[in-house]
Amino acid sequence: MMLDFWRNDLAALNQRNRMRSLASNEGLDFASNDYLALAQSPELRQIAFQALERGAPIGAAGSRLLRGNHPEHEMLETEAAIFFGSETALFFGAGFAANEALLATLPQPVDVIFFDDLIHASFHNGMRLSRAPYSSFPHNDATALDKIICDWRYRGGIGKPWIIVESLYSMDGDFSPLEDLLHIADRHEAFLIIDDAHATGVYGSAGRGLTAPFEGRENVISVHTCGKALGVSGALVCLARPLREFLINRARNFIFATAPSPLLAACVRDVLKLVSMHDERRALLSRNIEKVRLGLSGFCNLTPTSSQIQPVIVGSDHRALALSRRLREQGYDVRAIRPPTVAEGSARLRISVTLNVNEEQISQMIKCLSDMLGKEKL
């Protein structure tokens, strides 16, 4: 009886094809965010080995404000600020924690948060904890955002607007109009927070991401997660020094969390150097992306995105799950994405293009998908 609520809720999820379960990694990788194939690479293993050899601890054994602060954390933050071009950086244990901390801590009660309709769940968590009110604007619609801020000011808004976007959206694979958004932020004395998670390492000079042209400005905060193209874990928040110090003193999930592993901080520091020298990896990834794009448009009659994230929207949860299962049976790990991660009626396959597959394997996957889509009459 005590567990009836949870049993019933799970049963309802199962009935609606919304039940999640953990699945092993089987088949060719068309699902991960390991875009540059670094996570299991010999180079990264060597980096970790060398960090251990020079004495980098595995565990921090405390929060950064107690005894958990280590020179590896501080060296990473110093070098990351130089690499990305910001005044300072602050290392968090995960991108989720970083995004949550930013919105839970920085906006004040007189401020307002305006967020793109498709921002990550971590930002939504932060807004629920924030003292500032919040409101959405239509996806990638800078004109609508400008009007919303003007209306807020007209109604007596006196604080600072906070604009929250991703540079590359993780489920739709499209890019944010960052330059337009920055003009709006400047015009309205607003802060612009950019989650650069899926662009860091992949785009920009030396893999510095799509935020590279805007780093170092007082009103721009960028978040570079380290567990995607960089192949490690954690997140670097790049921002002005007063905002960094404010987070250190006020962000509860920084103050009260055990610090990230110094070993991982050491690995991220060396991975940034590695990524900066690997233009050939980005060139290979670009070729893989183009191979998928041509295949989706030519063989599957779909309109692809320009990025490494290719959504194949099929509508129903059942159809997305069925296609994902059949692809995995054929040796291709392509995952189904369902509501509430995406909007109702927009369940999809999320094809992630990485260097863990080659062009021939991409061609074979596209042919298999094309055959299945034809049979499904999508």
Prior bond to 340 cis, omega within 30? yes
The answer to whether the beta carbons of residues 339 and 375 sit under 8 Å apart is: no
Question: Among 72, 100, 116, 166, which one carries the catalytic annotation?
Answer: 166
Question: Among 228, 291, 317, 356, which one carries the catalytic annotation?
Answer: 228
Q: Which pair of structure tokens corresponds to residue 221?
A: 């905060």
Determine whether 228 is an active site residue. Answer: yes
Determine whether 170 is an active site residue. Answer: yes
Residues forming beta bridges with residue 349, ordered by sequence position = 312, 336
Determine whether 77 is an active site residue. Answer: no
Question: Among 160, 198, 224, 291, which one carries the catalytic annotation?
Answer: 198
Determine whether 4 is an active site residue. Answer: no
**Max CA pair span of the chain:** 60
Question: Among 70, 73, 120, 291, which one carries the catalytic annotation?
Answer: 120
Question: How far is the CA of 270 from the CAs of 163, 262, 276, 354, in angstroms?
Answer: 32, 13, 10, 21
Question: Among 100, 111, 195, 270, which one carries the catalytic annotation?
Answer: 195
Question: Among 41, 86, 130, 170, which one carries the catalytic annotation?
Answer: 170
Nearest to 199 by CA among 181, 212, 216: 212
Determine whether 195 is an active site residue. Answer: yes
Determine whether 87 is an active site residue. Answer: no
The secondary structure of 216-278 as a DSSP string is T-TTEEEEEESSSTTSS--EEEEE-HHHHHHHHHH-HHHHSSPPPPHHHHHHHHHHHHHHHT-
Q: What is the set of active-site residues?
A: 33, 120, 166, 170, 195, 198, 228
